Chain A
């Protein structure tokens, strides 16, 4: 079983990077979907949607990879967590259906455009909220007996998980506004900056509340953060987070800064992600099973690792290329001649 020891860290890294890429990539396009609901007119909606039309599908693919890689590398976590968040997962999936087909349907089905517009907006915001509930339920932990989840399907809905749901809606909206600032110009860009400021305020309020609530509710997490010398070692995390928040605020207000809001928000997400990871390490089923206990057999991990190490760089390469092809501002005037 010594192999397990060596594969688990690398699978942890791959999964961590995969989930983070998903959160960033689908995060910004779900966020764009949320802001879509606040676009003023048809022209604005077209531009907002077009800013993600060629790339959203690839972004969402990371969700599938996250799901099946979790099942492959840490199956015990998959079979406990997914049933425990039965309803949020189902709601997310159904919301993603609406949102995903809206790209084509809205374009091809002018007669029902308003319906698909709503589908895109509500699909985006509901999917995000459901993901936030999954996150909150994950931090709170699950009722487990042996290899099974033994709570009820409604356990995951708590005041805390509703708060993380709202937090994620603001978080994705902030990412989305960062993306729109990159892709749009003039008036619409200013609009995105204005939405970004609202989203940032929401993010800060919610993240603050979550950060206070979590250690209060979970003694282990409080112990991890506030015991000596951890408190000194971990101090940079809240400090950097606050500095990044200030940077994002400043770049949202400066019309010359196109990249600032997006990059700063990526930093904010990274910090929050690190914060959760530090809180829960080395648990994959919080407070019950560690990464090592939940790991699949070395033979399964090794078999998938070979292909993953080979294919993931290639995937990143051609995905970057497809982003490169669609680089630059979305412009309406290049439309029809």
Chain B
């Protein structure tokens, strides 16, 4: 049986990054949320902010730990499975990755300990600063990692010597053409993802009836935020799309499911792509709309995939469908947020069971959108690791055999199937207990006395009931 190390390495990368991306998608937003809540508590002194903040800190600590361990795996993938890619690009991308470590990971890690265990050990302002630093760390991390990713999509500021990439202008490397759009679109996407998780949890708490004030606080503030962020995200997505049209036209053609260059372009709502025959079957399309959305004019031309040789075309299926899933999520989010805003009159949004149930149902919508968006942009980049310059097939480590990769892939699959559902259950348990106030376990303990022993339910319940 022949096992292809390239396909298996790609599968492995998809597996480890698809799980990993879910965590920053949540922790970037919730770190900022915690910093805001800590700030509000610091300045107003109101207990409720402290309760809500401690609640989210507990959830954050679990997701952050999972983010760290699954994140450490990522840079090593470049070496273990993609050594030829690393050899070609290290001079350009590795300094950026190192800056991520220097500016983000240390900041997060050092201040996380204080945030989780140090509330009684440091002055209140220092605890607030720790929360801020953790939040900044997550944002710096996004900055650098998206700079690397964007450079792979729209490389700039480099020169090629003997088939390897060298930096020519660092400003152009970092602020490459797609970077500002990708950064904005991704970070806002992360905030929106967190926002919908908060919305769902708040709705559940309100419906339980035990934590009404806390739930209402979360629901109200988050709904205002989302009313601003969701439309902003749609605008950013449109800008990002225009950027893709300009710099990665083949990806855009795949997203739109266009094999033939046409003008005006209809907007394909649905279809079954057939890459071999280069046709779209069972297409449902709205005339003119494609041109309008993509080029902002009624007769704008969009290049079809046939403009490129067959071996330089991305597959159409994944980007085509993933993009539609992402946009679908976005539209559902917009509808829910607008509905909630209408219900704000006379406080109906905390009473409407239908609305609260929809919030709960929508709590994971952001993750679906993030994964779909990521699939769109990464599969759409194929068959290249560096768009137009280096092929994925030429990037894989030459010494690997299929069996090598299969073994590690099985390892990653098994471990992640224990860890991620395990983490999900742990977080669900924290949510079920609700914002019960300070985590005594973590705080009353002097020097890190007892944070880790759970005090199995009994004690915590005894002190809170």
CB distance from B110 to the nearest CB of A (A): 4
CB distance from A89 to the nearest CB of B (A): 6
Count of B residues near A, CB < 8 Å? 87
- Chain B positions 24 through 40: 1 when the CB is less than 8 Å from some CB of chain A, otherwise 0: 00000000000000000
B447 and A82 contact, CB distance less than 8 A = no
The CB with the most chain A CB atoms within 10 A, among B103, B408, B423, is that of B408
A interface residues, Cβ below 8 angstroms from B: 42-43, 46, 49-51, 53-55, 57-58, 60-61, 63-65, 67-69, 71-72, 75-76, 78-84, 86-87, 89-91, 93-94, 96-98, 100-101, 103-110, 112-113, 147-153, 296-297, 299-300, 303-304, 307-308, 311-312, 315, 318-319, 321-322, 325-337
Q: How far is the CA of A333 from the CA of B445 in the complex (A)?
A: 8
Q: How far is the CA of A301 from the CA of B108 in the complex (A)?
A: 25
B446 and A334 contact, CB distance less than 8 A = yes
Residues of A within 8 A of B412 (CB): 90, 94
Contact among B58, B73, B106, B452 for A103, CB-based, below 8 A:
B452
- Chain B positions 409 through 434: 1 when the CB is less than 8 Å from some CB of chain A, otherwise 0: 00110010001001101100110000
Contact among B99, B105, B113, B454 for A113, CB-based, below 8 A:
B454
Contact among A57, A150, A332 for B68, CB-based, below 8 A:
A57
Q: How far is the CA of A80 from the CA of B65 in the complex (A)?
A: 30
The CB with the most chain B CB atoms within 10 A, among A84, A94, A150, A337, is that of A94
Q: How far is the CA of A304 from the CA of B93 in the complex (A)?
A: 11
Does B184 sit at the interface, judged by CB under 8 A?
no
The A contact surface, by secondary structure, is: helix
Q: How far is the CA of A78 from the CA of B89 in the complex (A)?
A: 12
A326 and B447 contact, CB distance less than 8 A = yes
B interface residues, Cβ below 8 angstroms from A: 58, 61-62, 65-66, 68-73, 75-76, 78-80, 83-84, 86-87, 90-92, 94-95, 97-103, 105-114, 116-118, 121-122, 166-168, 170, 397-401, 404, 407-408, 411-412, 415, 419, 422-423, 425-426, 429-430, 440-441, 444-457, 459, 463
B76 and A107 contact, CB distance less than 8 A = no
Q: How far is the CA of A55 from the CA of B459 in the complex (A)?
A: 26
Residues of A within 8 A of B68 (CB): 57, 60, 100
Q: How far is the CA of A109 from the CA of B98 in the complex (A)?
A: 35
Residues of B within 8 A of A327 (CB): 447
B109 and A61 contact, CB distance less than 8 A = yes
Residues of B within 8 A of A107 (CB): 441, 451-454
> Would you give 30 A-B contacts (Cβ < 8 Å), ordered by A?
A51-B448, A53-B117, A54-B113, A55-B113, A61-B106, A67-B79, A75-B91, A79-B86, A83-B399, A86-B408, A90-B80, A90-B412, A94-B411, A96-B72, A100-B68, A101-B69, A105-B422, A153-B401, A297-B91, A297-B167, A307-B102, A315-B102, A322-B110, A325-B113, A325-B114, A326-B447, A329-B447, A334-B447, A334-B449, A335-B444
